[in-house]
Structure 1
Amino acid sequence: MATETAQLPPSRRTPYSVFSILAGVIGLFASFELLTEYLKTLVEPDYSPNCDISVLVTCGPNMASWQGSIFGFPNAIIGVAAFMAPIIVGVALLAGATFKRWFWIVYQIGLLGGYVFVCWLQYQSIYDLGTLCPWCMVVWSVMIPLWWISLFSNWSRGLFGGSERFRSVGTTLTQWAWVIIVLNYIAIAAAAQFRLNWLFTEFGIGAF
């Protein structure tokens, strides 16, 4: 039953498919830009990346930090590779492909890994490095809805099993996913404001 509910008719998969493709393209573009800027700094040590907007809004310190290469190579490489997944999944669904339950479980675990990694990078950026990397924030902005929307969508389709009532909870959460996503954004912005006072630093609004 769970496998059947995980395979929706094409008409019901289209919005998710389009969203998945758009999110993947945006995340891929941001990761690629971050990677190319990093490579330019290696070629030209005095090069100023296009994301160095101010002392606070900059990617230079992030790229040069150990947090920017947590696995021994630039995190942007992970982004370039990982954001191909939602693009491929979205295109495949639009083409009428169906996937087994195990595939969606693996895909959801991958999204969880991406979301947790992004949350860790947010903490490091705000509380340790004290900067807001523009391209990193673009990646954050697409990874957050990718995680929540995919989670609730798969929940409502029976990916996690359970009764019809349990799946109906996922359906309800799917309808309210935008609220959770906005609250997630607000939590990040609030943390950055209280820690870095970015509104005053960048716009002169409300000094703490």
Structure 2
Amino acid sequence: MHDKMGSGLGSIGILSGVLEDVGLGDEERREVAGKISDAAEELGTGLSDIVWSLDPRAGTLEELSGRLAEHAERLLSRDGVSVELDFPESWPGDPLDFQVRRNVLLIGMEALHNVARHADPRRVRLSLEPSGRYRWELRVEDDGCGLRKGAPHPGRGRGLESMGQRAREVDAEIEWSEPVEGGTRVVLRFDPSGGGPPLRRLWQRLRRWLGPDLT
């Protein structure tokens, strides 16, 4: 997220310099000004997301879904991509673990950015729903070019590594797949509490301390 904000600030600086070109016509100036406005709006939203993800006060799954939905609409709808949202009618009121909230938000945003940059889709589906007793499942699915055709871009590879690392930090599971009908599916399964019931959290910590051979 910080890299994207740095890139956005750089874009505003470059575009502002372009506006100073006395040879620009009125139409070109309007186009450049529009791009500056879009970049500034993106930065403002990014700052809001950072503040929310770092706020020690409790956040909820419903708030998380709302932020991801806004991000999807902003990134994709302007390019004519149909965005389908699939969320529960009612939400639990339990607070999200601080680290889970931050990492799931960043993973979801990275998945949506990958779709916008590499997939060239016509339709994207974003869903967040229960998966078992303690876990929830975040899905980002598109009907674009798929992983193999989109993979050569070096930034995408680093993004996938970052998503995997963030998932491991909160004991979540993340999967990438290509459905038979085409496109890409990203599935993240996570525990909103950061590890589930106390005994399960203790077991997970023991496994991390003593290694994978512990049975």
Name the TM-score, length of structure 2 as normaliser: 0.35
Q: Which structure exhibits the higher relative contact order, with contacts defined as CA atoms closer than 8 Å and separated by 6 or more residues?
A: 1
Larger % of helix: which? 1
Larger % of strand: which? 2
Name the TM-score, length of structure 1 as normaliser: 0.36
